[in-house]
């Protein structure tokens, strides 16, 4: 984000006023210099407070009533900020938003409300910064004129749910400790020396180059490992350590905020500096500012300094500008999706294009009617007829269905497995070819069934109720539209159980089409002939970007038979073989562990976990015995089992176990928590711990 303007009322020193960095219609000043003094220190604090969630402000050892003026009314501080689609989670659009806070005489801060408070920017979208947002959103750093650095004991694991206060705490409290510079250097040395971690290495290279360029220090040996970080830090000139500690703190927070970005230091954001001349010795400040400027080429800086003649700055600093994000006019999802829809088709929750809606679309288009597709719980008043399809019975799908019913009332017609497992399209519509224009993302991929049904009666499965026994319902020529399509997403429930399965597989192999068996293949029906045919078929993932096979393993019975069937394929470690493993139905932790341990021994195999969702009228989960035995030992063994891919799916399973463990034993299994947050959503770890996996709010 970039700060465009801040307006305040009833501030103790500044009273009522407005501050806006210099800008044009297309750019903003990269550096804005303000004269040092208590008034502008208060202004910087108002910027931070306005652009932060009160949840974080209340954690700072600072009395916010010190910002409150003498009037009886509250202090109001509102801002206008430009958001970037690359960092600020604004759905792919650059936009301008406003927000702010109110502080009463007692110092309690609350988010500004457009309905309750003065609306300072009525033409803007209103969006207050949120405590639970991703750490890269509304990115802001602020530093006071004095601070200390951690010297051991600095936490880099996000265990503190309020870690973001460290980004600006020193502006309010000189006792606030910023990053331990030696410890962070050690992290850069370690990660930069590993081949797979190019981001830390590139950042370290940039720091080394700038150290030589601006401070005439040759530290390029930092790029060679191993190094003793504490020793390297202690050998730096004493006058440089505090200024460099701040720079390293800024690097640390930027890397934390954007962990998956290759060049995080190049991203936009806002940095506030209060009197850096107090920790940069005479003759050092200009070089330090030039270092900072080049280290963060897209950051906006607002800085307080003494009068210009007492505080030399690089000559070109004040002339630099940053391009404002090119703003895009936004439309509501309603107007984009609906317009003047005649027939509205709503795909509530499909993970694949919805075949039933594609057939309905064909039916109505042949009548000359205008068909529009919407998703989720879209609300479009102009539609004359509304048909919605819901596939799942999850809580999220149920909420969407209820919202659609409330909005459309009796004009809504609903179907799908999540509504009625026995429901069917009329025969004349079911017989139609799907309308591929409804889902243009399919491109040259076909979608459909060669067969329906399954001879087995697994209690957790909806297929016996919905489809009945197996039977062929189409052929390849029809599904592939006479050869116009060469890729096929096959939705069959259990193709291999068909008596004619071998003939169908032979035809797929002979046609050299690419096939995605998205509902998995049943190993119980595999023999040597079928295995050889499937190896000849170009089995692929849903996007057809790589070879992929899909099987199921829903319990730990008959593992020897599974291995026997698996061996028929002759898979190697380079193959991609996914096993969909259901959990949360009737297995125990010991049985799950046995399954995953077994799959790890199969060459090319990896796990895709899938939580059991009771089908309408189906059995409820039976997991009362899940933690029987020694759960701590079993969890410790479980988290050591790693697959070469799709561990994010396992992470979902870990979260389910972690929550169940907390419910059962009233505590967290911390090695499991550390595993859950090792790679993804690290910033949520502290809140997860503080709320006992979300059980305590």
**Could you report the per-residue pLDDT of 196-231, keeping only the tens digit for each?**
557 888 999 999 999 999 999 999 999 887 789 999
Distance CA 28, CA 31 (A): 9
| Strand spans (E) along 497-571 | 514-517, 538-539, 549-552
How confident is the model over 116-121, as a mean pLDDT? Answer: 88
pLDDT beyond 90 at 655 = yes
The domain spans of the chain are: 2-323, 341-429, 444-627
DSSP annotation of 547: B
Instruction: Report the mean per-residue pLDDT for the chain.
Output: 91
pLDDT for residue 331 is more than 60: no
Model pLDDT for residues 535-555, shown as the tens digit of each residue: 999 999 999 999 999 999 999
Q: Bridge-partner residues for 177, per DSSP? A: 148
Mean of pLDDT values over 641-646: 84
pLDDT > 70: what percent of the chain?
96
- Three-state SS for 17-78 is EEECCCECCCEEECEEEEECCHHHHHHHHHHHHHCCCHHHHCCCCCCHHHCECCCCCCEEEE
Rounded Cα gap, residues 624 and 631, in angstroms: 13
pTM: 0.80
**Is 160 within 8 Å of 133 (Cβ atoms)?**
no
Q: Are 328 and 94 in contact (CB under 8 A)?
A: yes
Q: Facing residues of 605 across strands?
A: 577
Domain 341-429 has CATH 3.40.50.2300: yes
Q: If you ran DSSP here, which 8-state letter would residue 683 be given? A: G
HSE-CB for 534 with a 13 A CA cutoff: 28
**Residue 282 structure tokens:** 């005479």
Rounded-to-5 percentages of helix, strand, coil across the chain: 35, 20, 45
Cβ(56)–Cβ(164) below 8 Å: yes
Closest CA relative to residue 319, chosen from 30, 33, 57: 30
Mean pLDDT of 283-300: 95
Q: What's the length of the chain?
A: 697
Instruction: Please write the tens of the pLDDT for every residue from 591-609.
Output: 999 999 999 999 999 999 9
Q: Would you say residue 247 has pLDDT above 70? A: yes
Each residue's pLDDT tens digit, 45-91: 999 999 999 999 989 999 999 999 888 889 999 999 999 988 887 65
Residue 261 burial (CB < 10 Å; 0-12/13-18/19+)? middle
Residue % of the chain over a pLDDT of 90 = 73
Residue 309 has pLDDT above 80, yes or no: no
Which is more confident, 394 or 585? Answer: 585
pLDDT value for 303 = 96
Higher pLDDT: 92 or 254? It is: 254
Pairing of strands 269-274, 140-143: parallel
The whole-number pLDDT of residue 332 equals 36
For residue 84, give both structure tokens: 């970037």
Shared fold status for 2-323 and 341-429:
yes
First and final C-alpha spacing in the chain? 30
Q: Which has more pLDDT, 424 or 533?
A: 533
The Cα-based distances of 78 to 8, 19, 33, 42 in angstroms read 6, 11, 21, 14
The Cα–Cα gap between 67 and 106 comes to: 10
Q: Is the pLDDT of residue 190 over 90?
A: no
Q: What is the pLDDT of residues 614-635, one digit of tens each?
A: 876 778 899 999 999 999 999 9
Residue 367 pLDDT greater than 70, yes or no:
yes
In whole angstroms, what is the distance from residue 521 CA to residue 596 CA?
19
Token reading at 250 = 């800024």
Q: Which runs of consecutive H residues, i.e. helices, occur in 372-519?
A: 395-408, 427-430, 463-466, 476-479, 501-511
260 is written with which tokens? Answer: 């998956």
What does the pLDDT average to over 494-520?
Answer: 95
CA distances from 212 to 48, 216, 393, 493 (A): 33, 4, 61, 65
Q: Give the pLDDT score at 624.
A: 93
State how far the Cα of 320 lies from the Cα of 298, in Å rounded to an integer: 11
Phi, psi of 143 (to 5 degrees): -135, 135
Q: Is-contact 210 244, C-beta < 8 A?
A: no
- The answer to which of 40-44, 88-92, 112-116, 240-244 has the lowest mean pLDDT is 88-92
Give per-residue burial for 565-584: e unless 16+ CB within 10 Å, then b: bbebbebeeebbbbbbbbbb
Rounded-to-integer distance, Cα 249 and Cα 349, Å = 43
**Rounded CA gap, 603 and 459, in Å?**
30
SS (H, E, C) 558-605: CHHHHHHHHHCCCCCCCCCEEEEEEECCCCCHHHHHHHHHHHCCCCCE
d(Cα 181, Cα 248) in Å, to the nearest integer?
Answer: 6
Lookup: tokens for 491: 């939705």
The string of DSSP codes covering 379-403 is --TT-SEEEEE----SHHHHHHHHH
DSSP conformational letter for 440: G
Instruction: Copy the structure tokens of residue 155.
Output: 């936490």
The yes-or-no verdict on residue 329 having pLDDT over 50 is no
* Fold classified for 2-323: Rossmann fold (3.40.50)
193 has a pLDDT exceeding 80: no
pLDDT, residue 588, reads 96
Residues 663, 695: Cα–Cα separation, whole Å:
8
Two structure tokens written together for 609: 């976990």
Rank 75-84, 323-332, 375-384, 450-459 by mean pLDDT and report only the highest: 75-84
Using pLDDT thresholds of 50, 70 and 90, give the confidence band for residue 153.
confident
pLDDT at residue 330, as a whole number = 40
Phi and psi at 414, nearest 5°, equal: -120, 150
């Amino acid at each position: 984000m970039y700060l465009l303007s801040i307006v305040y009322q009833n501030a103790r020193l500044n009273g009522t006023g407005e501050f806006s960095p210099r800008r044009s219609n297309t750019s903003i000043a990269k550096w804005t210099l303000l004269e040092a003094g208590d008034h502008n220190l208060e202004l910087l604090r108002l910027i931070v407070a306005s652009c932060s969630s009160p949840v974080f402000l209340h954690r700072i050892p600072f009395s916010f009533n010190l910002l409150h003026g003498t009037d009886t009314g509250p202090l109001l501080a509102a801002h206008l900020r430009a958001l970037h689609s690359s960092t600020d989670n604004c759905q792919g659009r650059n936009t301008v938003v406003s927000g702010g806070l109110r502080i009463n005489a007692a110092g309690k801060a609350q988010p500004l409300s457009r309905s309750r408070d003065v609306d300072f920017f009525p033409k803007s979208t209103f969006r207050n910064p949120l405590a639970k947002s991703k750490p890269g959103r509304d990115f802001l750093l602020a530093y006071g004129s004095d601070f200390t650095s951690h010297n051991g004991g600095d936490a880099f694991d996000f265990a503190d749910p309020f870690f973001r206060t460290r980004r600006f705490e020193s502006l309010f409290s000189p006792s606030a400790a910023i990053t331990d510079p030696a410890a962070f250097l050690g992290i850069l040395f370690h990660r930069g020396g590993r081949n797979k971690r190019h981001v830390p290495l590139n950042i370290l290279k940039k720091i080394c180059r700038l150290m030589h360029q601006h401070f005439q220090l040759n530290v390029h040996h930092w790029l060679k490992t191993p190094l003793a970080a504490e020793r390297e830090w202690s050998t730096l000139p004493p006058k440089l350590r505090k200024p460099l500690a701040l720079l390293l703190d800024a690097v640390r927070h930027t890397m934390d905020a954007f962990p998956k970005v290759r060049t995080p230091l190049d991203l936009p954001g806002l940095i506030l500096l209060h009197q850096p001349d107090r920790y940069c010795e005479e003759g050092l400040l200009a070089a330090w500012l030039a270092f900072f400027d080049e280290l963060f080429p897209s950051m906006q800086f607002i800085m307080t300094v003494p009068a210009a003649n007492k505080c030399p700055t690089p000559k070109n600093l004040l002339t630099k500008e940053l391009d404002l994000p090119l703003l895009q006019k936004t439309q509501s999802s309603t107007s984009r999706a609906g317009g003047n829809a005649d027939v509205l088709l709503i795909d509530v929750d499909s993970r694949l294009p919805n075949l039933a809606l594609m057939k309905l679309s064909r039916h109505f288009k042949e009548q000359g009617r205008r068909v529009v597709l919407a998703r989720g719980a879209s609300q479009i008043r102009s539609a004359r007829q509304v048909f919605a399809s819901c596939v799942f019975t999850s809580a999220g799908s149920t909420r969407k269905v209820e919202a659609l019913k409330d909005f459309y009332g009796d004009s809504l017609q609903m179907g799908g497995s999540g509504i009625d497992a026995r429901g069917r399209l009329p025969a004349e519509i079911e017989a139609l070819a799907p309308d591929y224009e409804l889902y243009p993302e399919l491109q040259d991929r076909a979608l459909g069934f060669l067969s329906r049904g399954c001879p087995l009666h697994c209690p957790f499965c909806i297929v016996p109720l919905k489809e009945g026994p197996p039977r062929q319902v189409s052929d390849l020529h029809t599904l592939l539209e006479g050869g116009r399509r060469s890729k096929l997403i096959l939705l069959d429930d259990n193709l291999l159980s068909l008596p004619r399965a071998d003939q169908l597989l032979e035809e797929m192999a002979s046609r050299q089409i690419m096939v995605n068996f998205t509902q998995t293949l049943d190993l119980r029906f595999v023999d040597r002939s079928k295995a050889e045919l499937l190896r000849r078929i170009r089995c692929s993932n849903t996007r057809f970007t790589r070879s992929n096979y899909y099987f199921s393993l829903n319990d730990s019975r008959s593992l020897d038979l599974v291995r026997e069937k698996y061996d028929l394929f002759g898979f190697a470690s380079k193959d991609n073989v996914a096993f969909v493993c259901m959990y949360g139905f009737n297995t125990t932790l010991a049985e799950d562990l046995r399954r995953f341990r077994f799959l790890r021994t199969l060459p090319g195999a990896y796990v895709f976990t899938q939580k059991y969702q009771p089908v309408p009228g189906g059995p409820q989960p039976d997991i009362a015995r899940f933690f029987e035995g020694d759960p701590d030992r079993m969890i410790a063994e479980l988290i050591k089992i790693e697959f070469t891919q799709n561990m994010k799916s396992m992470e979902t399973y870990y979260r389910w176990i972690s929550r169940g463990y907390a419910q059962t034993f009233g505590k967290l299994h911390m090695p499991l928590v550390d595993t859950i947050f090792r790679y993804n959503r690290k910033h949520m770890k502290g809140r997860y711990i503080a709320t006992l996996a979300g059980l305590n709010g």
